[in-house]
Amino acid sequence: MAPLLDSFFKQVDSSVNHFTMRLRKAVAIPSISADDARRPDVVRMADFLYQELKSLGASVKLRPLGKQPGKEYLELPPVVLARYGNDNSKRTILLYGHYDVQPAEKSDGWTTEPFDLTIDEKGQMFGRGATDDKGPILGWLNVIEAHQKAGINFPVNLLMCFEGMEEYGSLGLEELVKEEAKKFFADADAVCISDNYWLGTEKPCLTYGLRGCNYYSVEVSGPSADLHSGMFGGATQEPMTDLVRVLSSLVDTNGKIQIPGIMEQVVAVTQDEEDLYAGISFTMEAFHESLGSKTAIFDDEKKTLMGRWRYPSLSLHGVEGAFSGPGAKTVIPSKVIGKFSIRTVPDMDIDETNKCVFKHVEEKFAKLKSKSTLRVYAQHTGKWWVASPKHWNFNAAAKAIVRVYGVDPDFTREGGSIPVAVTFEEATGKNVLLLPMGTSTDGAHSINEKLDTRNYIEGTKLLGAYLHYVAAEPQR
Ligand SMILES: C[C@H](N)C(=O)N[C@@H](Cc1c[nH]cn1)C(=O)O
Ligand SMILES: [Zn+2]
Ligand SMILES: [Zn+2]
């Protein structure tokens, strides 16, 4: 295998400009799944992947998902389903990634145009989706192309499933995965997802757990239209005042969730689990670097990792309908919608969590004795996932990391959510591995999201090497 990998790596090294151009084209498509007005761009991104995969010789289809639940005027973007290779003497790996991105506006505080890939002198490639998740998806395409150009026999068959609604709770995907588990995905021997990040900036990791995500809206409505606060302030009840009081009852400054019935569902820490944290390369300095501040809740590494991986968290995200621009607009918003989410962990149950949230919010609102109207509901929910990393899929990836980066990986869990990971595991019965490309400082979901050229290029090598080690793993 060594000479094959050497020539694959050489081909990747000589394709840096071409691979960068591929990422530039993808970043230029603002495929924001949360923004209804951007839906044509999300579809355009699916078409882009379709064309790229076709020209690499894959068989590809765009699978429609129907109307968006709750927004029946809006078609969900298609899932890109592709197959590359059909040799039943080889293993088959099912790849998942997402081609949609989080919203981004230059005015949010970006230094560069978010949809114009901009590379600085250190090789940092700034652009929305660079690391989450366009860079990693294109990494797989780069692997196929580099094999073709170097004339290397592809070591496995690939099945690909790239969705366009991940950043909005993967609407419609669960049904598709269940439906195709014994059809399009039937040949899969294992699943690989590249859609998360290293713990720091130097050491690669393999990830075997994710938190789930329940995302809530709290609507408070009062007057029929926004009002002048000079003319009406002091004489009308204000929805924003009630909303702020309800939202402030959910969590405290140190992240402690105040909703009864949430922490009670969390499994207790075992000694084995405690011991795991001791071996992980993670420092508070590195964490402060990813935060860009020293506002961490805890002073020590273990508590910080536990807070991110194995305990739930509640985050307030924003208020729709509230004044948020610069300046001093003196308005009373007539209807405001607070948005918050809870990252869930073993053994939290989605329905039980919803029940606790609704009860708490309704009780807090009732105590205000407000004449405004309350509505609280879950926008989307997704289950947590924890798997065993003792599987040939993880062994192959660990060997690939040693080959590309010269170090043994950390085995990590992750605080983010990829709702479909657990669906793939349950529906196909196959092992699921998370093999990240980017680092903790990439700023996914934030302003100035970036992917380092080093991570894109070495990451492409890693994805390719992983497939060769998969082929070489003994049958069990
Ligand atoms: C980890 C992954 N790259 C990611 O960012 N996932 C999103 C998915 C999401 C959005 N709503 C619910 N889940 C995340 O963790 O926020
Ligand atoms: Zn992602
Ligand atoms: Zn994301």
Residues in Cβ contact with 466 at an 8 Å cutoff, skipping those fewer than 6 apart = 192, 396, 397, 400, 435
Active site includes 100?
yes
The predicted pLDDT at position 1 comes to 76
Ligand 1 centroid from CA 132, angstroms: 9
User: For atom 1 of ligand 1, which residue has the closest CA?
Assistant: 416
Read off the pLDDT band of 2 (50, 70, 90).
Answer: confident
Whether 145 sits among the annotated catalytic residues: the reply is no
353-404 confidence digits (pLDDT tens): 999 999 999 999 999 999 999 999 999 999 999 998 999 999 999 999 999 9
Q: Which of 365, 76, 135, 158 is nearest to 246 (CA)?
A: 365
User: Cα–Cα distance between 189 and 393 in angstroms, integer?
Assistant: 9
| Ligand number nearest to the C-alpha of 214 | 1
70 Cα: distance to centroid of ligand 1 (angstroms): 20
Judge: domain 212-266+311-382, CATH 3.40.50.2000.
Answer: no
Residue 271: phi and psi, rounded to 5, are: -65, -40
Spacing, Cα 166 to ligand 1 middle (Å): 7
pLDDT above 70 (res 476):
no
Judge whether residue 279 has pLDDT over 90.
Answer: no
306 contacts 296 by C-beta, under 8 angstroms: no
Kindly report the average pLDDT of the chain as a whole number: 96
- Token pair of 61 as six digits: 């289809």
Is the pLDDT at 126 greater than 80? The verdict is yes
Q: What is the pLDDT of residues 28-44, one digit of tens each?
A: 999 999 999 999 999 99
Q: How far apart are CA 68 and CA 102, in angstroms?
A: 18
Our answer on whether the CB atom of 169 is closer than 6 Å to any ligand 1 atom is yes
pLDDT above 70 for 100: yes
Active-site annotation holder among 133, 145, 163, 166: 166
Q: Is 196 in the pocket of ligand 1 (CB under 6 A)?
A: yes
Q: Where in the chain is the domain with CATH 3.40.630.10?
A: 6-210+384-472
Is a pLDDT exceeding 70 seen at residue 467?
Answer: yes
Q: What is the mean pLDDT of residues 87-91?
A: 96
Q: Which residues contact 374 (CB under 8 A, 6 or more apart)?
A: 218, 219, 220, 242, 246, 361, 362, 365
Q: What is the CATH number of domain 6-210+384-472?
A: 3.40.630.10
pLDDT band at 169 (very low <50, low <70, confident <90, very high): confident
- What is the phi/psi pair of residue 442, to 5°? -75, -20
* C-alpha to C-alpha distances, 142 to 147, 224, 285, 461, nearest whole angstrom: 9, 54, 34, 9
Nearest-angstrom CA–CA distance, 62 and 54: 12
* CATH code 3.30.70.360 region(s) in the chain: 212-266+311-382
pTM of the predicted structure, to 2 decimals: 0.91
The predicted-structure confidence for 193-224, as pLDDT tens digits, reads as follows: 999 999 989 999 999 999 999 999 999 999 99
User: Which atom of ligand 1 approaches the CA of 414 most closely?
Assistant: 1
Task: Give the H or E element holding residue 247.
Answer: helix 239-247
